[in-house]
Amino acid sequence: MHRDSSGHRGRSDRRAPGIGPSPVLAALLAIGLIAAPARAESDVVPAVEADYDAHLEKLFIDFHQNPELSFQETRTAAIMAKELRAVGGIEVTEEVGGTGVVGVMRNGDGPVLLMRADMDGLPLKENSGLPYASTTTQVDRDGVTKPVMQACGHDVHITSMIGAARQLAKRKDQWQGTIVFVVQPAEERIAGARMMLEDGLYTRFPKPDYAVGFHVTTNFPSGKIGLEPGVALSSADSVDVTIPGVGAHGASPQLAKDPVVMGSEIVMTLQTLISRELSPLRPGVVTVGSFQAGNKHNIIPDKAELQLSVRADDEDTRKRLLDGIKRIATNVGRMNGMPEDKLPQVKVGFESTPVTYNDPDLTKRVRGAFAAALGEDVLYYQPREWMGSEDFSYFVQKELQVPGAFFWVGGTPQAEYDAAMKGGPTVRPHHSPLFRVEPRPAVTRGTQAMTVAALDLLKK
């Protein structure tokens, strides 16, 4: 669980600057000099609760018990296509960008809204203790059989998408326009969104005027919603560095050009990219996750390999870090006397994604819709304390001119959250064999939020 700078987890009554009632208004409300505005609970709330019992719970459990790895989500995609078709009035196209599914619901002239949900699982053996825990295995693209688990909550996302589609199909008298339901593969490899775009998502189907998506999180109490303007998630780049050397006997180092030494120099010098080349007010991360070289005590190898994860909150910083890695690696090779055709090589991997940015105007509007339909107290604020990433960012890249809003839905039972706040066991983290969320409030709140957002953005 990520903590704020005071050492406590975020509180539900915290608000970002400029969000929520002013201090004066809050004081007047508190002493009763003015009345709080009345709010009639949206009929979306009980309708979604009823649909969870009738349909969504069974669907969620099936998705959880039968996860599939990135690029191989054929069963999940088929069920999503079937469910969207069963809603009625949705044109469904399969195999978009691999296993992706696109459903288009038209309801007269008006704006186009993209709703996105990702569906892939992770190669982990589930140890959550849930009665419906996954025992599935699957042969991955590398030919290795691996256990598979929904360890990041994508089962919540796709179930909530079906729930929202079912609600919106019943409420066509309340909205006007087009909804594009995007069921995306391979988010865990941060590749699926890009593949769908390359397969014509914005040319074969209506191009959106807005894009919305959400992620369930164990960092919030169940049913809370987090949505803030600006940077929502960082960019991420996987970088491979190959360091050629000259091998020799470990007792004759003078005959070698040691790639282990060069790799070590690169690792240590990379730290100066953050500490000496970025402003201390501008975040960035360069993590060396793997250093592979040699296989025997007394042999100096002829090659070393590094694997890096690079994070930034803006494209200028991202470029500065990637350029800096290439500069440092190349010149460490030169410093060690390697010829120009044998210098270290730096390759930015396919698993890369830009910054996810929440459009301020769209964010303000969607937050207002959440507060009006679900109550102001549903909104939750917690400072960003990590540099996670999401490939939802590809759908809302600046050059595409599609404003986006990406929000969070809490999935940790209130009692577990409160215990963690008091120093008890931490909540079960994402990408862990122990990961689990409270399904009913997570699925229903995700469904309600997506439905409410669509009804507001496409209202007549």
Q: What is the pLDDT of residue 416?
A: 93
Average pLDDT over residues 55-83: 98
Q: What is the pLDDT of residue 383?
A: 86
* pLDDT tens digits for range 348-377: 998 999 999 999 999 999 999 999 999 999
What is the 3-class SS of 112-178, one letter each residue? Answer: EEEEEEECCCECCCCCCCCCCCCCCEEECCCCCEEECECCCCHHHHHHHHHHHHHHHHHCCCCECEE
Average pLDDT over residues 149-176: 98
Could you tell me what percent of the chain has a pLDDT over 70? 91
Q: What is the pLDDT of residue 14?
A: 38
Instruction: Give the predicted TM-score (pTM) of the model.
Output: 0.88
Exposure class string for 381-391: b at 16+ Cβ within 10 A, else e: bbebeebebbb
Best-predicted range by mean pLDDT among 20-34, 374-388, 437-451?
A: 437-451
* pLDDT tens digits for range 212-237: 999 999 999 999 999 999 999 999 99
Cα angle, residue 413 at apex, residues 412 and 415 outer, rounded to 5°: 125
pLDDT at 291 over 60: yes
Closest to 166 (Cα-Cα) out of 112, 85, 241, 95: 85
pLDDT band at 41 (very low <50, low <70, confident <90, very high): low
* pLDDT tens digits for range 423-445: 998 899 999 999 999 999 999 99
Structure tokens at 252: 């004759």
Task: Tell me the C-alpha distance between 281 and 162, whole Å.
Answer: 42
Structure tokens at 269: 């010098």
In 210-295 the beta strands, taken as DSSP E runs, fall at 210-221, 225-226, 230-233, 235-244, 248-249, 284-293
Element (H, E) at 448: helix 439-457
DSSP type of residue 222: T
The fold for domain 23-233+355-457 equals Aminopeptidase (3.40.630)
Q: What is the pLDDT of residue 343?
A: 98
Name the maximum alpha-carbon separation found in the chain.
Answer: 86
Cα angle, residue 366 at apex, residues 361 and 372 outer, rounded to 5°: 130
* pLDDT tens digits for range 382-398: 888 889 999 999 999 99
Please state the domain extents for the chain: 23-233+355-457, 235-353
Specify whether domain 235-353 bears CATH 3.30.70.360: yes
Select the more confidently predicted residue: 96 or 30: 96
Average pLDDT over residues 2-24: 37
Closest to 351 (Cα-Cα) out of 381, 401, 390: 390
